[in-house]
Amino acid sequence: MKNLYILLIVFSIQFIQAQQQDLQRANRLFDKTYYSAAIPLYEKVNAKNQTLEVVQKLGDCYYYTNDYDKALEQYAYLISSKNLNEDFYFRYAQTLKAKGKYTEADKAMRDFFVASNNKEALEKLEKDIKNLKNVTAIGERFDIHNLALNTVNSEFGGVILGKNLIFAAVKKKPNLFDKTYKWNNESYLNIVSIPVKNANANDSIVSYFSKDLKSAMHESNAVFTKDGKTMYFTRNNSNNGRRGKNTYKISTIQIFRAELVNAKWNNIAALPFNSADYSVEHPALSPDEKTLYFASDMPGTLGSFDIYSVSINGSTYGNPINLGDKINTAKREQFPFVSKDNKLYFSSNGHEGYGALDIFVSEIQNNSFTKAVNVGLPVNSGYDDFAYYINSETKEGYFSSDRPGGKGKDDIYSLKETKDLLIEDCRQYIAGIITDVDSHLAVENATVVLKNSVNQEIEKAITATDGKFSFTIECEANYSIFVTKENYTGNSKSFKILSERNKCNDGSMEIRSMEIIKKEEQAALDKKIVADLLIAQQLKTAELVALEQKRKADAIELKEKKIAETNALNQKKKEDAIALEAKRLADLVAIQQLKKEKLAADQKATALASAKKKEKMAAIVAAEKDVVKDKDRLIIKTEPIYFDYNLWYIRKDSKIILNRVVELMKKYPEMVVEIGSHTDNRGTDKFNLDLSQKRADATRAYILEQGIPKNRISAKGYGETVQIVKCIPEDSCDEEQHELNRRSEFVIKNL
C-alpha cells in the first residue's frame, strides 16, 4: 500500500509537470505570434485544467487565425469575469459582428464604457454606430464577384500592371520541405501574375511574376510606377537570403524596391526606414509618385499598425510621417491605396465597421485628410476586407476578403462601384393640412407646434391660406404636434418614428369654430327646455291612467294566482312522480348507449390515426431520400456527424450535414425529432454517457439557432448502451466497427 501511494504521488507530479511544460511551450509560441502552432497545446491544457488565462489565450489564437466561431465560444465563457480590459471587449465584439450579431456587439462595448465611466468613448461609440447605420442605409454600393483564379489557399492584393493582374498567393500543393507560416500554417507567399482577361476563367493558369524576386520568404503587396520600371513590395526581413529575426526572435516585414533593367528585376534594395525592430509593409504610391504610403507598427503609432507617408526624392526618401487620428486609431490600420482622384483607401478595425478589417476612404486635400468613412456594402463584411484597388475612371477594381462563401482563406473579388457614397442622417417628415370640422375648408393662421418626447418645443409653423404645414424630423424618436387658433378648439397627434428614411407622416388635423359650438349649444338648450315641458305633461297623464289600470289588474291577478297555484301544486306532484321514474329508466338506457358509442368511436379514431400516420410516413419516405425506415422506427439518414476528440462543439463540416435535418424539419412543420448520440464502448460508461449527452445537446442547440422551435427537437445521449456491433470485449472490434457504433441518429418521433 505504501508503494502504491508513492507511485500515485510520482504520477501526479509528472502529470502536473507535463501540463506546465505544455502551457509554457504554448505561451512561448503565443508570444512569437505562432498562433496555429499554439492552439493544439492550449486545447490540450484547457481540456485538463481550464483557467481564465488559458481560455483567453486560446480564444485569442482562434481570433488571430480568423476562426471566429471558436473564438466566440471561448470569449462567451469569459464575458462574466471581472477585470477584462477594453482589448478583450473589442475582440469579443468583433467575433459577434462576424456572426452578424451587431446589436449584441454594440451592447458589449457600450456596457464596458458605461462600467468604466468612459463618457468620451461612449459618446464616440454612439456617433460611430449612427454613422454606420447611415452607410448601411445606402444599400449595396458595389457589384462584386469571386474570381475563378482563387484556390483553397490565400490569394490577395490584386493590382493591374499593363494587361496583367498581379497579386500574392501560396502554392496550391506545397512541397514536403516547404516552410510554413506558423501564424496560420500556410506556405509562404509569392508574387504571381495572370492576364486580366483570364482572371475569371475556370482554366486560368497563374505564373510567378518574376523569378528574380522569388525567395524562401513572404513576398506580397506589389505596387508599380506608371512606367512599370520601378516596383515596391513587401518581404520578410532577411540576412544573406535567410529570414532575419530581431532580439525578440520575430521576423519583421519590410518594404523593398526593385528596378526593371533589361527585362529583369534587379537592384533589389530595402528602403532606408526599414527596421528589424518593427514592420514596414503594404506600399502604395500617390498619383504623382512623389509620396509613398505604407503601414507600420514603428514607435509613435496610435495603435498596433498605423498608415504613414514618406516623400520620394529620386533614390532618397524623407522621414516617415504618421497620417494622424483622422486616419489612424488605437487599433489596426493597414493596406493603403491611393486612387487617381486622390482618395486614400485603407483597411481598419478601429473605425466603426461591420467586423474585423473594413475598408475606409478619405479624400486627400492639400496634404490633409478628411474624416475616414466606411465604403459600405457588400465590399465590407463581418470578416477581413482589405487590399482595395480601384480605377476611379472606370469605377472597377479588386479587393480581398476571407468572408464565408469564398474558395480559400483569402480570396480576390472584382468590384464595380454602382452608387455614390452619400451619407445622410435618417430623416422623416410630419406634414398635413389643418381644416375646419364643419366646412372642411383649410384654416389659415393656425399655429402648429412640434414637440419632442419630453414635451419640449422644437419648431412652430403658421398655416397659410391652404392650411398646410410641414416639419423635418429625426428617425427613431417620438414626437407630438399641437394645433391652436384663437376662437377654435385645439387638437393634437403623436408619432412613434422608426428608422425608415424619408417617410412622410400624415399630421392633418381638424379644429372647430367656438362660435359655431356656442350657437349649437344654445339651440340644443332651447330645444331641450321645450321637450322637457312636453314630456312632463305626458308623464303626469300617463301616470294617472296607469295607476287605475294597475289597481284593477292587481285584484284579478291575485284571484287567478291563487287558483293556479293550487292546480299547479297538485299537477306537479303527479308529474314529478312520473318524471322521476321515466328519468331513472332513461338514464340506464343512455348510459349503456354512451358506453357503446364511446367504444366504437375510440376504436374508429385509433384506427384512423394509425392509418393516417402510416400513410404520412410512407409519403415522406417516398418523397425524401434522407428519410428511411429502420425496423419500427423512422429516421433521418445523414452522413456521419464528426466531433473533435473528447469534444462536443459542432464543427463547420458537421453544420452542412445538420442543415439538411433543419431543411426537412422546416419542410414538415409537425415533425418532432429526437437526436440520439451514441459512442463506442471504449472509456467508462459514465464518461460515454456524459459525452454523448453533451454532443446531443450541442447538436440540438445548433438546430434551435436555425429557427426550429424547442418543443420539436429533443436530445438524448445513449453513451454505449445501444451498439450496432457488439464489441465485447472492446478490443474485439476494429476501428471501423467502433466508428459504426459512434454515431448520431435523428429519430422522427411524431409527424
CATH at 51 = 1.25.40.10
CA-CA distance, 57 to 24, in Å (whole number)?
12
Tell me if 539 is assigned to some domain: no
Last residue of a domain, one of 367, 382, 417: 417
Report how many domains make up the chain.
4
CA dist., res. 443 & res. 258, Å (int) = 79
Rounded to a whole number of angstroms, the distance between the first and last alpha carbons of the chain is: 61
Q: Are both 441 and 333 inside the same structural domain?
A: no
CB atoms within 10 A of CB 403: 19
pLDDT (0 to 100) of residue 13: 56
Residue range of the domain that includes 742: 624-750
Residue 732 is assigned to a structural domain of this protein: yes
**What integer is the mean pLDDT of 546-561?**
82
380: closest CA among 408, 395, 399?
A: 399
Indicate the SS3 state at residue 125.
helix
- Enter the DSSP assignment of 33: T
Whether 330 maps to a domain, the answer reads yes
Out of 417, 447, 463, a domain closes at: 417
Mean pLDDT across the chain, nearest whole number? 89
pLDDT tens figures, 279-300: 999 999 999 999 999 999 999 9
For cell 472509456, the residue is 683
| pLDDT recorded at residue 241 | 56
Residue 572 has pLDDT above 90, yes or no: no
Report residue 636 as a C-alpha cell.
Answer: 433521418
> In this model, does residue 307 exceed pLDDT 70?
yes
pLDDT at 10: 46
> 631: domain CATH number?
3.30.1330.60
**Average pLDDT of span 592-614:** 80
Q: In this structure, are strands 427-436 and 504-506 parallel, antiparallel, or unpaired?
A: parallel
The single-letter code of the amino acid at 26 is: A
Q: What does the pLDDT read at residue 239?
A: 61
Residue 177's pLDDT is 36
Q: What is the mean pLDDT of residues 503-519?
A: 94
pLDDT of 102 higher than 90: yes
Joined together, the cell numbers standing for residue 269 give 534594395
* 3-class SS of residue 503: coil
Strand, helix or coil for residue 612: helix
Residue 182: pLDDT over 50: no
Query: Mean pLDDT, to the nearest integer, of 709-737?
Result: 88
For residue 216, is it within any domain? yes
**Among residues 515, 537, 569, which one ends one of the domains?**
515
* Spatial contact of 676 and 699, defined as CB atoms under 8 Å apart: no
Residue 613 lies in a domain: no
Asked if the structure places residue 684 within a domain, the reply is yes
Q: What is the pLDDT of residue 183?
A: 39
**Based on the domain organization, do 107 and 154 belong to the same domain?**
no
Q: Residue 485: is its pLDDT beyond 60?
A: yes
Quote the pLDDT of residue 194: 95
Query: When comparing pLDDT for 645 and 79, which is higher?
Result: 79
Provide the whole-model pTM. 0.64
Each residue of 360-398: b (16+ CB within 10 Å) or e?
bbbebeeeebeebbbbbbbbbbbbbbbbbbbeeeeebbb
Q: CATH number, domain at 498?
A: 2.60.40.10
Tell me the mean pLDDT in the region 369-377.
Answer: 96
Same domain for 150 and 179, yes or no, is: yes
Say yes or no to pLDDT of 272 above 50.
yes
Q: Does 77 fall in a domain?
A: yes
Residues 17 and 102 in one domain: yes
- Residues 171 and 318 reside in one and the same domain: yes
Contact between 746 and 673 (Cβ < 8 Å): yes
> pLDDT tens, 407-427?
988 999 999 999 999 998 889
Same domain, yes or no, for 410 and 468?
A: no
Q: pLDDT of 621-637, one tens digit each? A: 888 898 998 888 899 99
Rounded distance between C-alpha atoms, residue 521 and residue 311, angstroms: 87
Q: Are residues 479 and 386 part of one domain?
A: no
Query: If pLDDT is split at 50, 70 and 90, which confidence band does 18 have?
Result: low
Give dist(CA 148, CA 482) in Å, integer: 62
Rounded distance, CA 218 to CA 279, Å?
13
Give the residue from 88, 84, 58, 81 showing the smallest Cα distance to 71. 58
Q: Are residues 78 and 227 in the same domain?
A: no
Count of beta carbons in the 10 Å neighbourhood of residue 286: 16
Give the residue, 337 or 51, on which the prediction is more confident: 337
Looking at the fold, whether 239 and 307 belong to one and the same domain comes out as yes
Residue listed under C-alpha cell 472490434: 733
What is the percentage of the chain residues whose pLDDT exceeds 90?
62
Task: Please indicate, yes or no, whether residues 151 and 85 belong to a single structural domain of this protein.
Answer: no
Co-location of 358 and 233 in the same domain: yes
Angle between helices 35-48 and 2-31 (to 10 degrees): 150
Position 401 in a domain: yes
The dihedrals phi and psi of 333, each to the nearest 5 degrees, come to -125, 130
404 and 450 co-located in one domain: no
Query: Would the pLDDT of 470 be above 60?
Result: yes
Q: How far apart are CA 487 and CA 513, in angstroms?
A: 6
CA atoms within 13 A on the CB side of 16: 6
Task: Give the confidence band of 573 by pLDDT, cuts at 50, 70, 90.
Answer: confident
CATH of the domain at 320: 2.120.10.30
